């Protein structure tokens, strides 16, 4: 396919990207034909895929609102994806203009567009790095210049962990991130779960993502809860994302259709 003007030369435009597929689910325009084809295959296998992405983005917005209300003014969003309406800096800086946000993503398109959109915003930074290398994130000069880890900070790992296999030791990754935080900091997690899902549906979804740059690694509620080791879970705990502090009771109905589980934990001490 012809490379769009906005696509960096370094990216493979013939292979689907999970970041660009997610952008497609959210109604964005920063995706290629190959991403749309893979996303449509996912929708054929799991018809609620766009609902999943939208419910997860709504969870992110509510979590950031909760964190700003709790006094958090520093955010490290790892696996941030391609910026769309309702991103972390928009929510946080609307309520607390002095909030500082660092976006981290491994996808060069997501990074390029984040930098373009955030140009001129002195309270944000964008870093191209991989969640599986937390030490490189924590020591990156742009991260260090923007965030003071001696002050409470929120780390957001939203809709990312299902692309991290057990072989990549996600528990150790999160432990490394936790060790960098001061008491009063927060961790926000969400990921796709197979709790109550049809086995055939799970198999089809895994097959679709096997053709992308990030195969799926679906986990249970118990496994996601275990990732909050060292943190005190904020009520209502790890739940289907529409159930996490919903704006209206109606918005939490049929919550399991969202497929994503999520929660927020506070580092005590």
Domain of 34 in residue numbering reads as 18-266
Q: Among 212, 204, 238, which Cα is nearest to 49's?
A: 204
- Contact between residue 186 and residue 92 where contact means Cβ atoms under 8 Å apart: no
What is the pLDDT tens value at each position of the chain, 269 positions in all?
Answer: 555 565 666 666 677 877 788 888 888 877 888 889 988 988 887 777 788 888 898 999 999 999 999 999 999 999 998 777 678 999 999 999 999 999 999 988 788 878 877 888 999 999 999 999 999 999 999 999 999 999 999 999 999 998 898 999 999 999 999 999 999 999 999 998 877 655 665 565 556 555 555 567 888 899 999 999 999 999 999 999 999 999 988 888 878 877 889 999 999 97
Residue 11 lies in a domain: no
pLDDT of residue 231: 98
Determine the Cα–Cα distance for residues 221 and 227; give it in Å rounded to an integer: 10
Number of domains in the chain: 1
Which CATH number goes with the domain that contains 239? 3.40.50.150
Q: Quick one: DSSP state of residue 193?
A: B
| Strand blocks (E) in 93-148 | 100-105, 124-128
Residue 10 lies in a domain: no
Residue 86 lies in a domain: yes
Beta strand pairing call for 154-158 and 74-78: parallel
Please, what is the end-to-end C-alpha distance for the chain in angstroms? Answer: 54
Q: For residue 105, give Cα distances in angstroms to 51, 113, 150, 231, 253.
A: 23, 11, 24, 24, 32
- Contact between residue 153 and residue 54 where contact means Cβ atoms under 8 Å apart: no
- Contact between residue 238 and residue 263 where contact means Cβ atoms under 8 Å apart: yes
Determine the Cα–Cα distance for residues 85 and 205; give it in Å rounded to an integer: 26
**Contacts of 18 by beta carbon, 8 Å cutoff, 6+ apart:** 107, 163, 209, 212, 213, 214
Residue 5 lies in a domain: no
pLDDT of residue 30: 76
Beta strand pairing call for 260-266 and 239-240: antiparallel
Residue 200 lies in a domain: yes
The angle, 0 to 180 degrees and rounded to 10, between the axes of the packed helices 18-25 and 108-118 is 60
pLDDT of residue 181: 98
pLDDT of residue 203: 62
Residue 222 lies in a domain: yes
Determine the Cα–Cα distance for residues 39 and 214; give it in Å rounded to an integer: 13
pTM metric for this prediction: 0.86
- Contact between residue 211 and residue 16 where contact means Cβ atoms under 8 Å apart: yes
Residue 13 lies in a domain: no
Q: Among 94, 134, 113, 90, which Cα is nearest to 19's?
A: 113
Q: Among 18, 13, 16, 17, which Cα is nearest to 2's?
A: 13
pLDDT of residue 5: 61
Residue 82 lies in a domain: yes
- Contact between residue 46 and residue 209 where contact means Cβ atoms under 8 Å apart: no
Determine the Cα–Cα distance for residues 68 and 85; give it in Å rounded to an integer: 18
């Amino acid at each position: 396919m012809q490379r769009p003007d906005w696509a960096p030369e370094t990216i493979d435009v013939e292979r689907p990207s999970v970041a660009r597929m997610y952008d497609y689910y959210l109604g964005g325009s920063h995706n290629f034909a190959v991403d749309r084809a893979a996303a449509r295959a996912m929708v054929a296998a799991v018809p609620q895929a766009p609902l999943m992405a939208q419910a997860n983005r709504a969870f992110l917005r509510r979590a950031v609102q909760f964190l700003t209300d709790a006094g958090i003014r520093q955010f490290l969003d790892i696996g941030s994806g391609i910026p769309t309406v309702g991103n972390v800096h928009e929510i946080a800086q609307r309520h607390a203009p002095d909030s500082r946000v660092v976006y981290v993503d491994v996808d060069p398109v997501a990074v390029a567009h984040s930098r373009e959109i955030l140009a001129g915003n002195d309270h944000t930074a964008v870093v191209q790095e991989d969640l599986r290398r937390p030490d490189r994130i924590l020591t990156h000069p742009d991260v260090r210049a923007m965030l003071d880890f001696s002050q409470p900070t929120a780390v957001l790992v939203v809709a990312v962990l299902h692309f991290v296999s057990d072989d990549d030791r996600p528990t150790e990754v999160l432990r490394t991130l936790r060790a960098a935080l001061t008491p009063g900091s927060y961790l926000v997690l969400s990921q796709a779960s197979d709790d109550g899902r049809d086995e055939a549906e799970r198999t089809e979804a895994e097959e679709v993502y096997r053709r992308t740059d990030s195969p799926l690694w679906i986990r249970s509620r118990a496994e996601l809860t275990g990732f909050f080791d060292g943190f005190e879970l904020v009520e209502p705990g790890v739940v289907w994302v529409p159930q996490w502090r919903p704006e209206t009771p109606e918005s939490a109905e049929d919550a399991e259709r969202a497929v994503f589980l999520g929660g927020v934990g506070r580092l005590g001490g």
